[in-house]
Structure 1
Amino acid sequence: MDLFNEITRKWLKHDVVIYSTMIQGLFQVGRCGDARKLFDEMHGKGQMPGQLTYGIILEGLCNNHQIEEALSLFHLMGDSKLNTDIVVYNILIDGASQCGKFDIARRLFQDLTDKGLCHNVQTYNVMISGLCREGLVGDAKDLFLKMAESDFPPNNVTYRVLLQGYLKNQYYDDIEILLHEMYGRRYSLDASTLSLLLDQITAGLLGNPLLELIGKLVPKELVGASSFST
């Protein structure tokens, strides 16, 4: 803040990059009101927010559980060019889902189709994660299958998200199939998914024969930290 204010004292002007950096920093320390004031100041001084700045303020609001404020700003922008970017929708869909407003996330997902905008891999991943969080694993699986037929097939993150959804919701029927698909695509497990799998095996909810397959999906950097090293 001292450096930011020094710019004015030296008769220099703040530009979009400086404003964006400060707004992001304020959100990171939870000063949402100050961040929003700075955004309004920037707008008032004729520094029009670009896609980056717009994304920063929406993500900052969502990360601080102010989804209603983020949606208010989104609707205020209306049909502007800023609201035709898939990144903006991904931020809001994820933010609404994380804040327990999954009905809003679903509407935004449908809004993309209505506006003729294409979902990308991140959009699908965010929705699959939200569906699993809501316990709608069947719907998550359907979206996963739809994604596989789209121009944006599932990636490593998609498989991990769906696998975690299966595990957390005790939806065990398709876990082995999913693991075999991951192995076939040369995907790997991350630490959190691996931990969930091992916990379920230890609890007797998954069979020990899966250990060999799981071991093939563990990246080298995780081997030393897992039970596969013993």
Structure 2
Amino acid sequence: MRSLLDLRRVSVVKPKCFSFARRPLRYVNVTPAVPPCEPPQDQPPPLDQSLVKWVSSVLSNPSLDFTKCKEILTHLSPHQFDRVFCEINSSVNPKTLLGFFYFAAESCGYRFSVKSYCGLILLLLASNLNAPARLLLIKLIDGKVPSLFEKAFGDRHVEIAMAMVDLNVGLEKSVGVHICDMLVHLYCSQFKNDGFGLAFDVFRALAGRGAFPSSRTCNFLLSSLVKVGELQRGYEAFEIMRQGVVLDVYIFSTAINLFFKGGRVEDAIKLFMEMEKLGTSPNVVTYNNVIHGLCRSGDLVEALQFKSRMVEKGRMPNLVTYGALINGLVKCEKFDEANNMLREMSEKGFIANEIVYNSLIDGYCRVGKVEEALKIKDDMVSKGIRPNSSTFHSLLRGFCRNDMTEQAQVLLQDMLSRSFPVNIG
């Protein structure tokens, strides 16, 4: 219980009252991912108000009385506690209530409903007790606290999200956004090993009830899906975001990258044009995503046009821009243009890194121009950039393809002395 006592050092902001009535945080026209909860058929009997007042007095006290807590548990079932919590949440001490929950769950094996846990988490957030709220949410998601889940949902992750939304939060709107942010962030980070499908399902369920995370969190989710190659879920997530989130330059940039990665070049360009029409100015990352995508698809002419457009709009190309263009030119065997781009890059004050040099070296080796590749390698070393494993492998393949056995043997010994793995396949 020591961790519970430590909570008393945290200042508490008295929360406003919230109700357990089921009403969405914010409504938009999105097809629900899960069916809405049906209201109970039978009206429950009225609560014993003397019992309600007694529970309120115990849980509004700054200190936790464990004897009285045990007695409370003998009088209330989990669903009865839901109803009591609904009536007393404006008067309880959030830290005392948190201690009560942990004591009941860990020492008495009491199984609170998901709704009760979610109500407590929202109460903690409204009281600026963010760290305890986050920890409790992690334990709830991870099944580390005894809790009652409704079988109707079939998915406890979605049930947690729905319980958060179904609680009619009569607090600041920011609390609703905060809990959506926290949920999506946790599934994308703390629980990423369980797959990003969970994060997507929770996001879709929230959006189905009109509750959306902030633009920043939406971009975090979209970026995570793109990073792990969940492109189809990425497309769906972006379409949902379009219906309920104010799209900023970061979401647009990530979505453009998503479409290019999926080979949807025309859609990516259309989205770029759309963001400009909507008054969202592309930044350097946006242009780099477009240029990189066009280079990968072999459309160098349009990629170079976007570089010119970028400069006209006052966005200066950076190392990533030049690297993408040089790599694209090399793949199309336009070595003169690639070297000109390298010189321009140097004149602009950018120092080529090993990725740029390796692109040129590998390109020359693939077309049998090993001597040119060696010149690039020498230039690389003269600039203080050490060749890495990729550099040596490109050269080794070039030597082998051109029957330069002696040079290959010397290079192989050099690689082994540097403990580089050898793979010339």
Q: TM-score range by the shorter chain?
A: 0.7 to 0.9
Q: Give the counterpart letter for 2:246 in structure 1.
A: K
CA distance in structure 1 between the partners assigned to 2:301 and 2:385 by the alignment: 30
Alignment of 1:70-219 (within 5 A): 70-78=303-311, 80-83=314-317, 85-190=318-423, 193=424, 195=425
Equivalent position SS for 1:78: helix
Q: 1:48 aligns with which of 281, 284, 292?
A: 281
Which residue number corresponds to residue 204 of structure 1? none
For residues 189 and 16 of structure 1, the distance between their equivalents in structure 2, rounded to whole angstroms, comes to 43
Mapped partners of 2:347, 2:375: distance in 1:
20
Higher relative contact order (CA 8 A, sep 6+): 2
1:9 aligns with 2:9: no
1:89 deviates by: 0.9
- Partner amino acid for 1:7? M
Distance (Å, rounded) in 1 between the aligned partners of 2:378 and 2:236: 52
Q: What TM-score, normalized by structure 1, do the two folds share?
A: 0.74
Mapped contact 1:54–1:82 kept (Cα < 8 A): no
Contact 1:19 1:42 in 2 (8 A): yes
Q: 2:360 is aligned with what amino acid?
A: M
Q: Partner of 2:406: helix, strand, or coil?
A: coil
Cα distance change, pair 164–7 in 1 and its aligned pair in 2 (3 A): same
**Which amino acid is the alignment partner of residue 185 of structure 1?**
R
**Which shifted more, 121-130 or 166-175?**
166-175
When the two chains are superposed, the root-mean-square deviation of aligned CA atoms in Å is 2.0
Provide Cα deviations, 1:140-161, integer angstroms capped at 9, x if missing partner. Answer: 1122123223221111111111
Whole-Å Cα distance in 2 between the matches of residues 141 and 153 of structure 1?
14
| Amino acid of the structure 2 residue aligned with 1:16 | V
Take 2:350 and 2:310, find their aligned partners in 1: how far apart are those partners? 17
Match of 1:67 in 2: 300
8 Å contact from structure 2 (residues 253, 289) kept in 1: yes
CA shift, 1:56, in A, is 1.7
Report how far residue 116 of structure 1 moved. 3.1
Give the distance between the partners of 2:402 and 2:308, measured in 1 at CA.
Answer: 34
Contact 1:62 1:92 in 2 (8 A): yes
Task: Report the Cα offset of residue 122 of structure 1.
Answer: 1.1
Q: Does residue 23 in structure 1 map to residue 241 in structure 2?
A: no
Give the Cα–Cα distance (whole angstroms) in 2 for the partners of residues 28 and 178 of structure 1.
Answer: 36
One-letter amino acid of the counterpart of residue 286, structure 2: T
Q: Residue 287 of structure 2 contacts residue 306 of structure 2 at CA under 8 Å; is this kept in 1?
A: no
* 2:182 paired residue number: none
Q: Which runs of 5+ in 1 are unaligned?
A: 196-230
Unaligned 5+ runs, structure 2: 1-234
Percent of aligned pairs with the same amino acid: 33
Q: Which runs of 4+ in 1 moved over 6 A?
A: none
Contact 2:333 2:363 survives alignment (8 Å): no
CA contact (8 A) 1:16 1:47 kept: yes
CA distance, structure 1, for counterparts of residue 276 and residue 401 of structure 2: 44
Q: String of CA shifts for 1:120-146, please: whole Å, max 9, x gaps.
A: 111111111122233221111122123
User: Residue 82 of structure 1: SS of its match in structure 2?
Assistant: coil
State the Cα distance separating 1:81 from its structure 2 match: 4.6
User: Which amino acid is 1:9 matched to?
Assistant: Q
Distance across 2 between alignment mates of 1:67 and 1:56: 14
Preserved contact between residue 19 and residue 38 of structure 1 (Cα < 8 Å): yes
Give the SS at the match of 2:383.
coil
Q: CA deviation at 1:41?
A: 1.5
> Under a length normalisation based on structure 2, what TM-score does the superposition of the two structures give?
0.42
* Deviation sequence 1:16-59 (CA, Å, 0-9, x none): 23212221221123221110110122233233333332222111
Task: Work out the CA distance in 2 between the residues paired with 1:100 and 1:175.
Answer: 24
